[in-house]
Structure 1
Amino acid sequence: MSTPTGPSGFSLPPLRNPVRTIGARSFDFSKQIAVMAIVNRTPDSFFDRGRTFGLKSAIDAALAAAASGADWVDIGGVKFAPGPEVSAAEELDRVLPVVGAVASRSDVVISVDTFRTEVAQACIAAGASVINDTTGLHDPGLAELAAATGATLVITHSRARPRTAYARPQYDDVVKEVVYFLQSRIEMAVGLGVPEQNIIIDPGHDLNKNTLHSLEITRRFDEIARIGLPSIAAVSNKDFLGESLDLPRTERADASLAAATACALLGARVVRMHDVPRSVQAMRMTEAILGLRPPALLRHNMSDVNEQPA
């Protein structure tokens, strides 16, 4: 089978330590783009609106995502935005049985989306291998836990305290400020004992950012990727897509794929998505365009005789 004969027109920023073992799976982020599925066991998530709040629904959704090609399933029990108080005990009641059930039936990577150390610790013991912290290490204990357990740590840019409103965010240069924040938090995590090869970064589309900020991060995602660690594009169905195109939440699937693909072409190595089958197909095609993978087949116009119409 033919392999790419030259580099693509997209110059991907180089990664330090691109080969990672996360849970039971191995990744080479210099050659692949992972798809992270979203399973929110919350009654008030911004997009699902409780679709996977039931225990069976959450477990079935996670296993279906794995069967559809997701490399990774992100399980959360509390939405990022402000809302009714959810105690640590209630959050654990929501996420822990899902983590345990999925870990016992699949080798898919499991992350727990939480800002609480006690929740992350219990989920790691139950089979999760990633702590997905959307609060930018507001609690340094999450980094200490990752260091002690060997878990992968996702560091995300956000400004507000957990579940706190942040009105009219202002940035002189949103991308430069996000890069500075992420670099400083990487240094913090490494200083607390987390190996750099166990860190993944996320610029936090829409998190304490308006639509113009999220669009700027998308078009300049290569500057995030140049930090040198695998980066996540968490764009699926977010409000910056809806506001850009005047679309309700239920009609943002195509816009989500476009934004995720744009980020991947600029260096994102994980995309966090709701529609797993279409996202897997889009990322496999993006890898082919980038020359990271050969075609699965090579038949068209490869015959010694002209093809006859069917």
Structure 2
Amino acid sequence: MTGPAAGDGPRTPLVLKFGGSAFAELEGFTRVARYVADRAADSGRPVVVVVSAMSGTTGRLKETLERLAPDPPPEAAAMLLTSGETVSVALLTAVLDMVGLRASPVAAAGTGLLAEGPPQHAALLRADPAPLTAALAARPVAVVPGGPAVTAAGRSVMLGRNSSDLSAVALAGALSAPVCELFSDVPGICTADPYLVPAARTLEHVAYETVRRMSHHGAKVVHTRAVDWAERHGVLLHCRPLPPGGGAGTVVGQGPPAPAVVVSARDDGLARITTLREDGPAEHTLVPAADAADRARRAHRELFPDAAEDAPPVPPKARSAYSDVLIT
């Protein structure tokens, strides 16, 4: 679990996924482009970059659609809600060219991801490596939208909200990449949400099953379907802080179980605090949403009595000022 799998060759692509928080500011595209250029130069490998929409874009698009048409055709909704990723693909490709790295902007139909089911919640069936292999033969970098796929009939569908992780993991498996790197605005997989519990620890290694449990109970870590796909196809997940942030992040694979505290909001003004121990059933407590952070910190102290109480708070998440780029 400490390095690439056996057989990892110099032409095996790096697969890097950047969430919407990477693009909270337009300068984020430049930071990511320079980082990708450095990784490509250092490794000598082709790179597949999977991108999410700028932070807040999909939510704004959904609000606008509901304001205009409360019950839109599913196909139209899926087309609109995946357009934010298309914008990120185009912008990052343009900036990569500006920093001297030729990249192919890939549309949903060119990802090789085949799915079936409801247009906004389609199930991923398989990932065909041929389209991206061809794109990488032409240029050293392919920039891919995270979340959309196509059906056997060629119709564009959406793999669900927050499905960029699934896209990246599926492409890593198809391209025989032993590791899929997932970049976000947290230092890795933590024992609690660091925005609520500053003393949360970043786990160095953790088992697929632990991350799956955390996600199942509402933690905003790697999506459950992405974890399932990674385990099934033997792909390690490396959850890392956004560059140029420090820290080694977390490797998810056949690692040890870990305890954690998960907070999930509800629509009735309550929050559910879930304590996950290394073994045994999950323990749930309902509290008013306003008390969630305090109760989560108390639960975390019970799991980790020696956790630092004076850990600095994590800066709050911010929606991109450009998240309304498609809204008129």
Class of the TM-score when normalised by the shorter of the 2 chains: 0.3 to 0.5
TM-score by length of 2: 0.33
- Which has the larger helix fraction? 1
